[in-house]
Structure 1
Amino acid sequence: MSSTDTAPALPADVRVGVIGVGQMGADHVERIARRIKGARVAVVTDYFRDKAQQIADSVPGCRVAESPEELIAADDVDAVLIASPGAFHKDQAIACIEAGKAVLCEKPLAMNPEDAYAVVEAEKASGGQYVSLGFMRRFDREYAELKDAIDSGELGEISILNCKHRNATTLPGFVDSMMVYDSAVHEIDAIHYFLDEPIREVQAILPVPGPRAAEGQHDPMLLLFRTASGRIVTDELYVNTDSGYEVRTEVLGSQGIATIGTEVHRVTTQKPGGQWGGSIPADFRPRFIDAYDAEVQAWVAAVADGTNIAARSARAWDGYLAAATCEAAEKALTAGTFVPVTVRPRP
């Protein structure tokens, strides 16, 4: 290149606004500021103004907006990450769509199927693609490899999926419905992701509660799903194991069986007397930190190139399917039989 040639300008960093800087939002701010390439946190907002200011002060060049509406409309925000309580997601996601700004919304998309469908309709009416939903497992290495194995036909015809979702403890007030909406929702999205077909019906089986179950809580719990093609999926939920965080998926195919999530012991030790042991993550964040990083990095890259939504990302329609399935699963807690999943036509 001669001295008279002009080098192409490097693309500017995507300026991200973060709505809600509680546990998840603060994690995302740290992620974007320290580990994500091509983006910076430009604006944050939170109901607790002092918390928002504290987070903004930790990131060079970041400021505080007085409200989500102000942040979404801001000229120095190119894309929005929503980490506010779920009750606000619908209105905030629609505001982002109307502003023409890409949004990565933590789950749930909305608190009920009707509100989730409203987001789907708003995006359709806009004529663009703006909404990515934060089902981070789609970006986990093991999940991605299993998805590719299923899609390639390597495992043959899939007949059964067995899922397990275990937590060490739950907070007070974590009732059965929260086991559906906070825990099983991830397996529900994984079913749609792996099998690429909707769930038609769901049944809940409630065993005798375990020794650490809270009063009125059925823990462990088993959910049975039947998909459109007749495949069966089991989801074992055990949220008070007093040990750690584990998620596993086993796929039974006509040409093989595949299992992910077994490598929970990152380091194992051998001790005198034949004892051995290791460590299990205390919660979901250490287990899926790489998936969260990959999800946000892919989203930033999609925003930068104008596509707005990464290839593996869950979309608004996936959020609606999850909401509709969770509603049926909640009804199944007391139905004692399979409950159909009611899904409206895709716009």
Structure 2
Amino acid sequence: MGFYEVYTKYKDIDFKKVTENITDNDIEKILNKHKLDEYDFLTLLSNKASKYIEEMANRARGLALKHHGKAIVLYTPMYIANYCVNKCAYCGFNIDNEIKRKKLTMEEIEEEAKSISRTGLKHILLLTGESKKHTPVSYIVEAVKILKKYFHSVTIEIYPLTEGEYKEVIEAGVDGLTIYQEVYDEEVYDKVHLAGPKKKHRFRLDAPERACKGKIRRVNIGALLGLNDFRKEAFMTGLHAKYLQGKYSDVDVSISLPRIRPHVGVFDDVYKVTDKDIVQIMLATRLFIHNIGINISTREKEEFRNNLIPLGVTKMSAGVTTAVGGHTSSDKDTSQFEISDKRTVEEVREAIYERGYHPVYKDWMRI
């Protein structure tokens, strides 16, 4: 059984109807439980549970400290290409958008790697658009081999691969996969993915599991918050993480909570997601999956990211640019979206220290 069967079981849940009769007593009982089921998780994501944020935070903070301590891993993304054949309504790389298209040579990738490595970071996230013509798997493999000379951990955030292709990039040195379903709801998914291979909902949905079968070490998933009701998407993300964790116990599973940011092109059909909503998702997910990793990117503002540190964040990006070759080039016309937190690695590191936590540049090494 794949996760699609789990998705099918819960996809038609009427959030409003299920949660309308929830009482304060119900929520308080859940907060005193050690192990939560899917409907407990659903309850903690409800609007009625939002007034219990402080109580949720107190318990979630204890669980995060127990499983992760005060360590926060730092990483930065490296965009090596922005060619894309998809028409995604919310993305700056949309094939119809008039942006400067660019693909780095291996020499340019090495210069980017050298520049980033000088900051002390040992974790890198490699990104491309979706174009197998311009960035085939062979190009990804060649790039990874260069990056492994400078970084202990290489995560990819590229187009979905087959199981065999995941094995190929893993053999080259990839140890992590980040892939967002964007939106779990099939109807909304079809609406915002107008054309291109990304329109295949099921193929993307199964990608994390194909990587797990290929013996990836870490998988990071999530939904792009704002494309649909955030509670439904957070619920499905949690179920997906729980499914992967239960089936592949040797894989480190984490979630991200990306919100839509301004980008080239126009997409106005956005559901509002507040800072408080992000916090509620974080806390409810931590209570549902005690040892889940939680990643907060520079899509969020500096002050908000700082305030999230004690609430159970385990990974943060720093020194970020979303432009192709942006670490060594001043050309920003190739950016995927605008970032909110423009701090350097050093500045993010100091912010973590100020809150009594420890920035980690390297958390493990392949033997």
Q: Which has the higher contact order (CA 8 A, sep 6+)?
A: 2
**Structure having the larger proportion of residues in helix:** 2
TM-score higher than 0.5: no
**Structure having the larger proportion of residues in strand:** 1
TM-score, normalised on structure 1?
0.30
